[in-house]
Structure formats: C-alpha cells, structure tokens
Amino acid sequence: MSGHSKWSTIKRKKSAVDAKRGKLFTKLAREIQIAAREGADPEFNIKLRLALEKAKAANMPKDNIERAIRRGAGLEKGEALEEIVYEGYAPNGVALMIFVVTDNRNRAVADVRRVLTRSGGNLGENGSVAWQFDEKGYIVVPLNGMSPDDMLEIVLEAGADDFEIDGDVAEIYTEPKDLNEVKTFLESKGLKIEQAELAMIPKNYVSLPLKETLQVMSVIEKLEELDDVSKVYSNLEVTEEAVAAQGED
C-alpha cells in the first residue's frame, strides 16, 4: 500500500484549507445523514461514529452535525438521498470504486461518466471491479519513534488482522466488525489515530510509471471534487516519488 496514507494525508490537508469549505461540509452532512439511517446513536452505529469524527476533525459546526443526524433519523425533513457505488476504470487499467451520495442519480452518473470518459477511462457494470477489493477496517497511526517490533506487539494484542509500516506511520487492517474495538484499544495505549475508516482495500495493486501514476491521481481528484462523490478507492500503487510530485502541485 505504498504511499497510500501519505497521499491521503496530503488530500486531508488540502481539504482543511479549501476555500470551498461549504462544499466539504455538505458532503460530510450527507455522509452523516446516510449513516444515521442505521441508528442515531453513534455508540451502536460505527458508520455514524466515524462520520462524526471526520466532521469534528473538519471543524464542522455542531448545529450542522445535529441537523444531519436528525434528518437521517427521520426526525426532520431533508434531501431524499441515496448511496450508490459505481465501478469503473481510470486510464491504464486502474480499477475504481466510486461511492456517491446524491439526491439526483441521473446527475451523479452523468458527472462520473464524463470525468472518466474525458480521461480515457470508462464506467463499468456492477461487479466488474468490486471483486478486486475487500472491505476492511483501516487505521493509520503515526509511529512517533516507536519501533516496528513494538508496534507489531500492540497491533497483535489489539486483535488486528495485519499491519504495514509506510514511512513514519503504521497502516493497520481489521475485519470491518472489529474496527472500533481495535481503534479503542490503540487509543487506550496512548496511540494517536490519524485516520480510521471502513475502506475498500485492493487485493492487488497496479504499478505504473510516474507520468501515468500522476495522470490517474489527477482523475481520482477530479472525481472526488464532484458534488455527489463521497469516496473513491483504487488499486493504484502510489509511490513516494508520486506523492512528492503531487504535493508540489
């Protein structure tokens, strides 16, 4: 998963200073609203808990958060939202899973198709890409001087499935149902959680030359900028060199 967490960090920093913060809040509110349909108590709803943590990290106003929860729980009238997953390919055969939360399915699919087509990619049928990914709990923890052996001991004790060292962070993988338990255990050990989410993790990665890697990264960013797109997952291997080049933009 080379460079994945660092690229994610770059994107989070960019969004934190994004002049279009209202757009970010709208996306977060939709994510909360969808999650709250499965229960308005974050204690028993992992998706809602993760969505709330993301909203708080972005300094989303408390009133906006509470309104989104009420709408999702059916206590207040809101947009008629639906969650859709589109599958497709970026240029050079890179598989994409595109998560959308929208009140207009036709607009959402047209926007996604336009970005992919203009880049030389294409939208696929349901099931054409999903088999290449597994849903996992994904946690990023800064090492802060901790040795890989010490991190391994804690990760094993936490009950995680696997972990990898990527530069100065550890990427930890869990079964989806175990994400919150592992996260809570790591926090109890004094570890800072930089990122925690349910993610689609590719079974295998596609490695490309720098120019092509940056081209695909650009396509993914264009998709993420669409109003209706909440998340994009790919099987692109992001190298240190590509992350550095992207960070200079």
Alpha carbon 105 to its chain centroid, in Å, reads 21
Can you tell me the mean pLDDT for 154-180? Answer: 90
pLDDT band at 9 (very low <50, low <70, confident <90, very high): low
Beta carbons within 8 Å of 19's beta carbon, 6+ residues apart: none
Instruction: Pick the more confident residue, 241 or 203.
Output: 203
> Which CATH number fits the domain that encloses residue 138?
3.30.70.980
Residues 208 and 127 both lie in one domain: yes
The reply to whether 123 falls in a domain is yes
The reply to whether 9 falls in a domain is no
d(CA 42, CA 56): 14
pLDDT band at 248 (very low <50, low <70, confident <90, very high): low
d(CA 18, CA 9): 14
Residues 111 and 60 both lie in one domain: no
Instruction: Pick the more confident residue, 230 or 241.
Output: 230
Give the pLDDT of residue 59: 87
Q: Which pLDDT tens digit goes with each residue over 193-213?
A: 888 889 999 999 999 999 999
The reply to whether 3 falls in a domain is no
> Which CATH number fits the domain that encloses residue 59?
1.10.10.200
Q: Which pLDDT tens digit goes with each residue over 25-59?
A: 888 999 999 999 988 898 888 889 989 988 988 88
Alpha carbon 202 to its chain centroid, in Å, reads 13
Instruction: Pick the more confident residue, 76 or 15.
Output: 76
Q: In the chain, pLDDT over 90 holds for what percent of residues?
A: 55
- Count how many domains the chain has: 3
- Strand 169-174: give its sheet, edge to edge: 162-166, 169-174, 133-142, 195-202
d(CA 45, CA 41): 6
The reply to whether 155 falls in a domain is yes
pLDDT band at 73 (very low <50, low <70, confident <90, very high): confident
Residues 126 and 208 both lie in one domain: yes
pLDDT band at 11 (very low <50, low <70, confident <90, very high): low
Q: Which domain holds residue 100?
A: 82-131+204-247
